[in-house]
């Protein structure tokens, strides 16, 4: 299936995408991870305000559309089934996406702002596997993993605030756009991860 997963920063897109790729035969296409792996890439020839993606990301701002559109276009051309995570983040990107591919299901993980802040500030990553944890909700069992956990550069309180306001201003209209088209499958993302997964899985199965 061709799956789009939408949600605010910290809504659980990465967490649910990992479950989706384990269950269904799809690639995980994530602009956030792709950009984090290329934070120092020189984009100054694209006439951008800053010279690298990292300078946007560490401020909580969106990386310019031209950079992100190229990443998604390339990844989609190599994928049959996919779960697309982190894109589109504004109406211009949504329009680009419509020219690139069709979608079978558009999921939206609905989570309150208070919970989002709690999830983002408590999130930790395993730099070796890329696995996502939470200090309180989902701590690793292995003490060796616990010792090497790192915090994402943009999970500081100040940057989290900026990311949430960028979401409200730029991405909320994308969600409304899919809702108006009648395509949006709203999932209660505030439930425990396994309960969210049960809803995500059945929604995909109904639409695939």
- Contact residue for ligand AP5 among 11, 26, 105, 107 (CB under 6 A): 11
* Interatomic CA distance for residues 108 and 158, integer angstroms: 25
The 8-class DSSP code of residue 123 comes to E
39 is catalytic: no
- Residue 75: which of Zn ion, ligand AP5, none does it interact with, CB under 5 to 8 A by kind? none
- Contact residue for Zn ion among 10, 12, 14, 60 (CB under 5 A): 14
Choosing from 13, 59, 124, 186, the catalytic residue is 13
**Among 154, 113, 155, 153, residue whose Cα is nearest residue 134:** 155
**Quick one: 24 or 50, whose CB is closer to ligand AP5?**
50
- Contact residue for ligand AP5 among 84, 86, 106, 175 (CB under 6 A): 86
The answer to whether 87 contacts ligand AP5 (rule: CB under 6 A) is yes
The 8-class DSSP code of residue 181 comes to H
Asked if 205 and 185 touch (Cβ cutoff 8 Å), the reply is no
The 8-class DSSP code of residue 64 comes to P
Helix axes 13-23, 193-207, angle to 10 degrees: 60
Choosing from 2, 119, 123, 124, the catalytic residue is 123
# residues contacting ligand AP5 (CB under 6 A):
36
**Quick one: 155 or 185, whose CB is closer to Zn ion?**
155
Residue 10's φ and ψ, nearest 5 degrees, are 85, 5
Helix axes 91-100, 172-181, angle to 10 degrees: 50
If residue 73 lies in a helix (H) or strand (E), which one and from where to where? Answer: helix 65-77
- Residue 29: which of Zn ion, ligand AP5, none does it interact with, CB under 5 to 8 A by kind? none
Peptide bond into 88 cis (omega under 30): yes
Choosing from 2, 119, 124, 163, the catalytic residue is 163
In angstroms, give the least distance from the CB of 80 to ligand AP5.
21
2 is catalytic: no
- Residue 31: which of ligand AP5, Zn ion, none does it interact with, CB under 5 to 8 A by kind? ligand AP5
Residue 187's φ and ψ, nearest 5 degrees, are -120, 140
* Contact partners, residue 98, CB within 8 Å, separation at least 6: none
> Residues marked as binding for AMP?
31, 36, 61-63, 86-89, 93, 152, 163
Q: Enumerate binding residues for ligand AP5 (CB under 6 A).
A: 7, 9-15, 31-32, 35, 56-57, 60-63, 68, 86-87, 89, 93, 119-120, 122-123, 132-134, 137-138, 154, 163, 192-193, 196
State the residues that interact with Zn ion by CB under 5 A: 13-14
């Amino acid at each position: 299936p061709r799956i789009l997963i939408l949600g605010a920063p910290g809504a659980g897109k990465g967490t649910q995408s990992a479950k989706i790729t384990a269950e269904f035969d799809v690639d995980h296409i994530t602009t956030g991870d792709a950009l984090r792996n290329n934070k120092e890439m020189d984009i100054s020839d694209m006439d951008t305000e800053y010279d690298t993606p990292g300078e946007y990301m560490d401020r909580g701002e969106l990386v310019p559309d031209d950079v992100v559109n190229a990443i998604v276009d390339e990844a989609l051309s190599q994928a049959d089934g996919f779960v697309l995570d982190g894109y589109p983040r504004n109406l211009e990107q949504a329009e680009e996406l419509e020219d690139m591919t069709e979608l079978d299901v558009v999921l939206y993980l609905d989570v309150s702002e208070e919970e989002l802040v709690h999830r983002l500030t408590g999130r930790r990553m395993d730099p070796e596997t890329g696995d996502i944890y939470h200090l309180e909700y989902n701590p690793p069992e292995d003490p060796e993993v616990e010792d090497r956990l790192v915090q994402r550069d943009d999970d500081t309180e100040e940057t989290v605030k900026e990311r949430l306001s960028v979401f409200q201003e730029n991405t909320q209209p994308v969600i409304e756009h899919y809702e108006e088209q009648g395509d949006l499958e709203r999932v209660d993302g505030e439930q425990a991860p396994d309960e969210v997964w049960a809803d995500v899985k059945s929604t995909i199965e109904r639409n695939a």
